[in-house]
Amino acid sequence: MEIAIALLFSTLRQATPLLLTALGGLFSERSGVVNIALEGMILFGAAAAAITVNRLEVAMGGEVVFWIPWVGLLAGALMGGLVGLIHAVAAIKYRADQIVSGTAINIAALGAPSIVLQVLYNNTSTSQEVVNRLPNVSLGPGSVSILVIFAFLLVPVVWWVLFKTPWGLRLRAVGEHPEAAETMGINVIRMRYTAVVLSGVLAGIAGAYLSIGFLNQFIRAMSAGAGFIALAALIFGKWHPLGVLGATLLFGFAQALAIQLQGGDVLPATLVQALPFILTMLVLAGFIGRSRPPAAVGKPYDK
């Protein structure tokens, strides 16, 4: 029973960054812009959150102050949004290949934070540990970060926004038939910019969760492929919030199970570590042909 409870809470913790990132990617791809840069947005958000909290702690003499982690969370969200804006400008204004633009951001996310770490901490891999972390919330026999609760509450909100509001209808129209949407008076360019920046904000929050919620410092490449797994969850979930929820819970369970199996003799250690990625590839192989993406996704739009 204790093992099952531990696995459940571990699944919730592992699924949270995937869910936040996938919901962000949902907005971007529903608008017609492929966002393979989610991985980089997570890393930039994680670095911004951890470094902001550390710098504030230094300024406050190392004291525990309730508002410091929330400022760090805001910094992570803003950084993610800024990276999202860069991707949007490249993909929308300059009509760059959206895959190439996203890949460039992912590569930059592996190098740029290391430069900042070298300047601030004289190393290229980790920030200093912080004492002001995002608060935990008790759930029966365990506890989780408050961002875990936020992520799962966000699912019905995203569903309502997409399918029950005029803004959501316009967003889906832009991703399916942008020319028709334009004739109806919808500003396609503005909708796409908004959606991509919003995807960056949510990915940045996922990064902040990793560095000041789940852990207490930034570690180079700490996302460990979460952005790519979130993209797989989008495909598996058929670009629908409820489908994305189910997919991220599945991938989160695979990651939690891999953690539980580590150190045991059930499977080879390398196979255990690869389990979430094997599951991702199997899901993509089985569903990529069956899931229909938004009709205009990946296609630049000329007004």
Does 297 map to a domain?
no
The angle, 0 to 180 degrees and rounded to 10, between the axes of the packed helices 68-88 and 38-59 is 150
User: For position 286, what pLDDT does the model report?
Assistant: 65
Burial bucket for residue 17 (CB in 10 Å: 0-12, 13-18, 19+): buried
Total domains present in the chain: 1
Residue ranges making up the domain that contains 279 = 2-284
Contacts of 96 (CB under 8 A, 6+ apart): 90
Does 300 map to a domain?
no
Cα–Cα dist 45/29, whole Å: 20
User: For position 284, what pLDDT does the model report?
Assistant: 67
b vs e for 121-149, b when ≥16 Cβ sit within 10 Å of the residue's Cβ?
Answer: beeeeebbebebbbeeeeeeeeebbbbbe
Does 89 map to a domain?
yes
Does 295 map to a domain?
no
Question: What is the tens place of the pLDDT at every residue in 24-74?
Answer: 999 999 999 999 999 999 999 999 999 999 999 999 988 889 999 999 999
Does 172 map to a domain?
yes
Cα-trace Rg, the chain? 19
**Range list of β-strands (E), 73-213:** 136-139, 142-145
Does 254 map to a domain?
yes
What's the chain's average pLDDT?
Answer: 91
Instruction: Compute how many other C-beta atoms are within 10 angstroms of the C-beta atom of residue 63.
Output: 11
CATH assignment of the domain containing 20: 1.10.3470
Question: What is the tens place of the pLDDT at every residue in 258-285?
Answer: 888 776 566 666 666 677 777 777 776 6
